[in-house]
């Protein structure tokens, strides 16, 4: 069995979740050290309430520059007691009672394999920085807690896209979280005229608002609506609402947030309730085209492997959104994964094997480029 597949299966079986990345992190630390890396673990675990920090591993190089490879160590829920097996047509699947964990064990295995190939080749290369986050599945929390000054790379390849090998996600959105409270007045349900019902005010306020799919690169979602006392015999005095909005384009996002606030303020009028409104931009975007250096480099390597690249837009954020906002250009690769986050999650074994080859090629292509600049 290929080493990358063997390690993929081992890591999948270790189990894990956001805030419980310990087993996977210890495995990666050991293997990275065997490959000649130094490994540093930050304090993000304590700050996130978990048992593991982000890992930053460094493989020294003899050529100038530094290139990063990134993946995340956590997985969505139902990620323990995974029993992977092979289908006749070459997929690795779970037994259907759990996720497979290919999101993002495929990325971890690809990075290890890329470094192993690099070591075996003996080729000269630039410094390689491996950035492995915690709590990616929980609002990209680990990457947001990472001290940006720990990343020295001037380019980062993220191995965390869903899709076939050849898929490169070059566009990912900004994301804003919107927090609202509709404050009415609590009263006895038998004397409703003494109260102001926050549920009714909030529903009327939101009933006609533009949300959901906004355009091809923008979405919004009314996600959480929470309020009321325990007893239905009380007029509801307060409702809290959490929403989010995303757009690849910053101006579109800002315009939508302005519209959203103005719409709510206009439509709370006359209800007797008042509105508290705030938002925060949770992370920035990634937005590259085939004219950008990082994309050209990746497309060149995929073509050299005989694979025609596809440039994609995904509305999901990833660690790359944060690193990119911190000034390190990021794009993200498919590795033959499908049905992420579901019990039908699977990965195509032969594409995963070639993802390791891609990781090595990206490091070498970056290194050649740096050598040319000397
Ligand atoms: Zn992922």
Residue 158 alpha carbon to ligand 1 centre in Å: 10
Residue 100 alpha carbon to ligand 1 centre in Å: 12
pLDDT more than 70, % of the chain: 100
Same domain? 33 vs 125 = yes
Residue 259 alpha carbon to ligand 1 centre in Å: 32
Residue 139 alpha carbon to ligand 1 centre in Å: 11
* For residue 216, pLDDT beyond 80: yes
The pLDDT score that the predictor gives to residue 61 is 97
Residue 205 alpha carbon to ligand 1 centre in Å: 36
Residue 56 alpha carbon to ligand 1 centre in Å: 18
Same domain? 129 vs 255 = no
Same domain? 310 vs 161 = yes
Query: Can you tell me the mean pLDDT for 141-145?
Result: 97
Same domain? 289 vs 157 = yes
The pLDDT score that the predictor gives to residue 374 is 67
Q: How many CB atoms lie within 10 A of CB 272?
A: 14
Same domain? 15 vs 85 = yes
CATH of the domain at 266: 3.30.70.360
Ordered strands of the 238-247 beta sheet:
212-215, 218-227, 238-247, 174-183, 274-283
Same domain? 158 vs 179 = no
Residue 135 alpha carbon to ligand 1 centre in Å: 10
Between the two ends of the chain, the Cα-to-Cα distance in Å is 40
Query: Can you tell me the mean pLDDT for 234-252?
Result: 97
214 — pLDDT class (breaks 50, 70, 90): very high
Q: How many CB atoms lie within 10 A of CB 226?
A: 10
CA distance 25 to 41: 9
Same domain? 145 vs 83 = yes
The C-alpha R_g of the chain, in whole angstroms, comes to: 24
Same domain? 141 vs 42 = yes
Residue 51 alpha carbon to ligand 1 centre in Å: 19
Residue 188 alpha carbon to ligand 1 centre in Å: 48
Residue 73 alpha carbon to ligand 1 centre in Å: 9
Query: Can you tell me the mean pLDDT for 237-243?
Result: 97
Give the pLDDT confidence of 289-320 residue by residue, as tens digits.
999 999 999 999 999 999 999 999 999 999 99
* For residue 180, pLDDT beyond 80: yes
Query: Can you tell me the mean pLDDT for 246-273?
Result: 98
Residue 101 alpha carbon to ligand 1 centre in Å: 9
Residue 40 alpha carbon to ligand 1 centre in Å: 22
Residue 142 alpha carbon to ligand 1 centre in Å: 12
Same domain? 117 vs 44 = yes
Same domain? 89 vs 159 = yes
Range of the structural domain that residue 211 is part of:
174-283
Residue 104 alpha carbon to ligand 1 centre in Å: 5
State residue 30 phi and psi, 5-degree precision. -60, -45
Query: At which of 283, 308, 333 does a domain end?
Result: 283
CATH of the domain at 157: 3.40.630.10
Query: At which of 223, 256, 283 does a domain end?
Result: 283
Residue 225 alpha carbon to ligand 1 centre in Å: 27
Same domain? 22 vs 149 = yes
Query: Can you tell me the mean pLDDT for 185-191?
Result: 96
Between β-strands 310-313 and 167-172, what pairing exists: parallel, antiparallel or unpaired? parallel
Q: Which residues of 43-79 are buried (b: 16+ CB within 10 A; e: fewer)?
A: ebbeebebebbbbbbbbebebebbbbbbbbbbbbebb
Residue 64 alpha carbon to ligand 1 centre in Å: 30
Give the pLDDT confidence of 92-125 residue by residue, as tens digits.
999 999 999 999 999 999 999 999 999 999 999 9
Residue 303 alpha carbon to ligand 1 centre in Å: 25
Query: At which of 262, 283, 304 does a domain end?
Result: 283
* For residue 229, pLDDT beyond 90: no
Residue 59 alpha carbon to ligand 1 centre in Å: 24
Beta-bridge partner residues of 287: 171
Per-position DSSP letters for 18-55, written without gaps between them = TTB-HHHHHHHHHHHHHTT-EEEE-SHHHHHTSS---E
Query: Which are the contacts of 158, defined by CB distance < 8 A and separation ≥ 6?
Result: 70, 71, 107, 318, 319, 320, 323, 330, 331, 332, 333
Residue 236 alpha carbon to ligand 1 centre in Å: 39
Query: Can you tell me the mean pLDDT for 232-239?
Result: 96
Residue whose tokens read 């979280």: 177
State how many domains the chain has: 2
Residue 160 alpha carbon to ligand 1 centre in Å: 5
Same domain? 316 vs 239 = no
């Amino acid at each position: 069995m290929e080493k990358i597949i063997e390690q993929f299966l081992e890591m999948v079986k270790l189990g894990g979740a956001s805030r419980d990345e310990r087993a996977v992190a210890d495995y990666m630390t050991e293997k990275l050290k065997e490959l000649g890396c130094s490994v540093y673990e930050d304090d993000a675990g304590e700050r996130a309430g978990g048992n593991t920090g982000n890992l930053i591993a460094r493989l020294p190089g003899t050529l100038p520059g530094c290139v990063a490879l990134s993946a995340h160590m956590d997985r969505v829920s139902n990620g323990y007691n995974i029993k992977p097996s092979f289908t006749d047509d070459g997929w690795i699947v779970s037994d259907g009672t759990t996720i497979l964990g290919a999101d993002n064990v495929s990325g971890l295995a690809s990075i290890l394999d890329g470094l192993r190939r690099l070591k075996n080749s003996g080729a000269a290369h630039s410094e390689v920085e491996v950035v492995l986050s915690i709590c990616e599945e929980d609002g990209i929390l680990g990457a947001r807690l990472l001290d940006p000054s720990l990343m020295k790379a001037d380019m980062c390849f993220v191995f965390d896209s869903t899709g076939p090998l050849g898929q490169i996600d070059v566009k990912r959105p900004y994301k804003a979280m919107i927090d609202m409270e509709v404050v009415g007045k609590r009263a006895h349900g038998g004397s409703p005229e003494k109260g102001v019902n926050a549920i009714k005010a909030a529903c009327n306020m939101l009933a006609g608002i533009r949300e959901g799919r906004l355009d091809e690169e923008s979405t919004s979602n009314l996600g959480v609506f929470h309020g009321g006392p325990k007893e239905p015999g009380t007029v509801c005095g307060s409702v809290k609402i959490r929403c989010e909005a995303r757009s690849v384009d910053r101006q579109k996002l800002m315009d939508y947030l302005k519209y959203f606030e103005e719409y709510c303020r206009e439509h709370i009028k006359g209800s007797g309730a008042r509105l508290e409104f705030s938002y925060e931009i949770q992370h920035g975007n990634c937005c590259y085209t085939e004219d950008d250096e990082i994309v050209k480099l990746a497309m060149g390597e995929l073509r050299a492997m005989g694979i025609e690249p596809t440039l994609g837009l995904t509305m999901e954020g990833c660690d790359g959104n944060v690193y990119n906002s911190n000034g390190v250009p990021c794009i993200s690769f498919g590795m033959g994964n499908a049905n992420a986050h579901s019990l039908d999650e699977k990965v195509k074994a032969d594409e995963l094997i070639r993802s390791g080859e891609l990781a090595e090629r990206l490091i070498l292509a970056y290194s050649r480029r740096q050598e040319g600049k000397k």
